[in-house]
Amino acid sequence: MKYDFILENAPGKKYFLLGNEAVVRGALEAGLDFASTYPGTPSSEIGNTLHKIAKKAGIYFEFSTNEKVAMEVSAAAAASGLRSLVFFKHVGLNVAADAFMTTAYIGTNGGLVILTADDPSMHSSQNEQDNRHYAMISGMPMLEPANAQEMKDFVKEAFEISERLKIPVLVRTTTRVNHVRGIVEFGELKNKRGKGYFEKAPEKYVPVPANARKMHRELLKKIELARKEASNSPLNRIELHGGDIGIITSGVAYNYIADFVEEYNIKANILKLGFTHPFPAELVERFLKTVDTVIIVEELEPYLERETRALAQMKNIHVKIYGKMDGFFPRAYEYSPDVIKDALSKILNLDIKSKNYAPEEIELPSRPPVLCPGCPHRATYYAAMMALKQLKIKDAIITTDIGCYTLGIQPPYRMADYLLCMGSSIGAAVGFAKATNQKVIGFVGDSTFFHASIPGLIDAYHNKANLVYVVLDNRTTAMTGHQPHPGLPVDGLGDEAPYVDIEKIVRGIGIEFVKTVDPYDVKETIKVFKEAITHEGIAVIIAKRECALIWDARRRKQGTWWVYEINQEKCTQCGLCSDYLACPAIFKKDGKVYINDALCDGCGVCATICPFKAIEKVEK
């Protein structure tokens, strides 16, 4: 199997690994027993890798219903003495925050590592919050790896720190360490513990106020112990290059700095921090005393910078500090070699000649991400659009949710007017339904339905909201790479599992208008949308059809492939397929409409809507 090498006890062997794969290896080298997650970019490949190897490795692994559940599941396993890993994207930690905060109070027996995958520049996210703040508000120690090798090594070390201090450790990663590939040298695998045993001790594990007060004092003691560890940790190091300029940096920013200092032969000493919370004050104090200028380079929020400025003030150290609080470095978006070059050129008065090629400016068409060819959501959006058109409703409010289908925001569908977070499409729909007289349609995916939508749906029913709620059930967690969810008959270990029927849940709440449609049956889907939109009260449509990528992969494997092409003699260029369905495989050239055979996946939705029967199937 493709991932078996991760389980190999081959110290010294080198692989070209994705940062997220290296996380799994690091956990295995720490003797991982237990893991849980909810998928989210840029953390998803950690779960995908565990999904493939956990059973063989004898590890318990689950795709939890949401991040909060994942946090609770792993916290209990760690309380039972097992080494446990819980991971999610940055906003996933918001969902898990309630459990997360108290886990810091309760502490842990087995090592408990919580990995957050932040997304500076928001490649796949709704915000770029800096989750280093979560270490500050919880008190947990935090590590920030800078490359694929460190992803492995730091995760391994995080388990040791956690078990030593009896506190969970936060590993803060960002897209450019999660999704970076680099050479990773393996270490030795450690034996697992298997099953744990929970020693009952309510005074330690039940934070009723009397216990919680003691726990907080305990936590503060642990933070001070961790602060001492941080200052002496091998994860923090100084690279000497001579001179009296110092640079303090952490995470991926270190790489740009290290390359820059080398390339332009800058005399600057680098303090590379890997153990960043509690702030290693003693170490930074020693470093500040060796330089007269210090430049702080970190993506997003000025966490290291604030701590450094406060420390310099408190210790009365006179050193010129540059960072983002004085405007030299940006506070938004991820860094790059160019960001570093610009800022350091300004601070150090460097005159760096550019050798860039300057391409002639020409207008290029934009290429935003779109729903894939064959995507069942496209057919559903087309049906919703046509139903609204036929009913002459122009101002329907479309609440959307987090998943591939958020791409319905693109023209021609424009099926997205409001979005907050996972599961918000139903809560927000209730709000709009109550606050306005407009028609409200909420869209949600199957995995997101289970994740955080059921309380909202109960709210909608109980409070008699008048709205349409559409579950786009494509039988997978598609956007993050096709992980299973509770609606599927398979679990995180790859074993058979009982599945939850969405229609039964909706009916179980008490909702009466519930219809399941196949979106490829466009005519029927339009009809059901019209019924739902004109229905008084809450109407739920379940648009059920598996993700096209899964369907495509299966047919490629079987060797059964076909595409569609346009019979130019019958085509009248009416534009229904190209302008309203707008599949990326369909394109116009010199006034005619064509289908790109390399992109077409043979779904045939365009053929079913063509009024002139001009789209024909071609076997390949």
Q: Which of residues 112-151 bind another protein (CB under 8 A)?
A: 123-124, 147-148
**In sequence order, which ranges of 436-521 are alpha helices (DSSP H)?**
446-452, 454-462, 502-509
What letter represents residue 600's amino acid?
C
3-class state of residue 392 by DSSP? coil
Does 500 interact with another protein (rule: CB under 8 A)?
no
Q: Which residues neighbour 111 within 8 Å (Cβ) at sequence distance 6 or greater?
A: 30, 78, 83, 84, 158, 159, 160, 161, 162, 163, 169
In the complex, least distance from residue 546 CB atom to another protein, rounded to whole angstroms = 17
Does 24 interact with another protein (rule: CB under 8 A)?
no
**Nearest partner of 469 among 386, 543, 394, judged by Cα:** 543
Chain positions 302 to 361 lying near another protein, rule: CB under 8 A, are: 336-338, 341, 354-360
Does 407 interact with another protein (rule: CB under 8 A)?
yes
Q: How far is CA 230 from CA 233, 281, 282, 301, 576, in A?
A: 5, 8, 9, 20, 63
Does 586 interact with another protein (rule: CB under 8 A)?
yes
Chain positions 177 to 236 lying near another protein, rule: CB under 8 A, are: 177, 179-183
**Nearest partner of 27 among 41, 44, 7, 13, judged by Cα:** 7
> Per the structure block, which two tokens stand in for 480?
């993050």
Does 412 interact with another protein (rule: CB under 8 A)?
yes
Q: Which is nearer to another protein, 336 or 516 (CB)?
A: 336
Taking the C-alpha atoms of residue 39 and residue 26, their distance in angstroms, rounded to an integer, is 19
Does 578 interact with another protein (rule: CB under 8 A)?
yes
Q: Which is nearer to another protein, 28 or 146 (CB)?
A: 146
Q: Which is nearer to another protein, 369 or 489 (CB)?
A: 369
Cα within 13 Å of Cα(579), Cβ side: 6
Chain positions 474 to 493 lying near another protein, rule: CB under 8 A, are: 479-481
Q: Which is nearer to another protein, 360 or 536 (CB)?
A: 360
In the complex, least distance from residue 89 CB atom to another protein, rounded to whole angstroms = 9
Q: What secondary structure does DSSP assign to 204-218, as a single string?
A: HH---HHHHHHHHHH
Number of residues that bind another protein (CB under 8 A): 72
In the complex, least distance from residue 125 CB atom to another protein, rounded to whole angstroms = 9
> Per the structure block, which two tokens stand in for 124?
């796949």
Taking the C-alpha atoms of residue 500 and residue 447, their distance in angstroms, rounded to an integer, is 11
Chain positions 80 to 109 lying near another protein, rule: CB under 8 A, are: none
Interacting span for another protein (CB under 8 A) from 203-211, 317-325, 368-376, 468-476: 368-376
Q: Which residues neighbour 300 within 8 Å (Cβ) at sequence distance 6 or greater?
A: 118, 120, 128, 130, 331, 332
Among 96, 514, 582, 610, binds another protein (CB under 8 A): 582
Per the DSSP assignment, residues forming a β-bridge with 566 are 615
Q: Which is nearer to another protein, 329 or 432 (CB)?
A: 329
CA 180 from centre of chain: 15
Chain positions 239 to 278 lying near another protein, rule: CB under 8 A, are: 252, 254-256, 258-259, 262
Interacting span for another protein (CB under 8 A) from 40-48, 63-71, 79-87, 389-397: 40-48
In the complex, least distance from residue 9 CB atom to another protein, rounded to whole angstroms = 20
Among 588, 592, 613, 617, binds another protein (CB under 8 A): 588
In the complex, least distance from residue 155 CB atom to another protein, rounded to whole angstroms = 18
In the complex, least distance from residue 344 CB atom to another protein, rounded to whole angstroms = 12
Taking the C-alpha atoms of residue 582 and residue 68, their distance in angstroms, rounded to an integer, is 38
Cα angle 118-59-2, degrees, rounded to a multiple of 5 = 75
Q: Which is nearer to another protein, 264 or 612 (CB)?
A: 264
Among 73, 266, 312, 371, binds another protein (CB under 8 A): 371
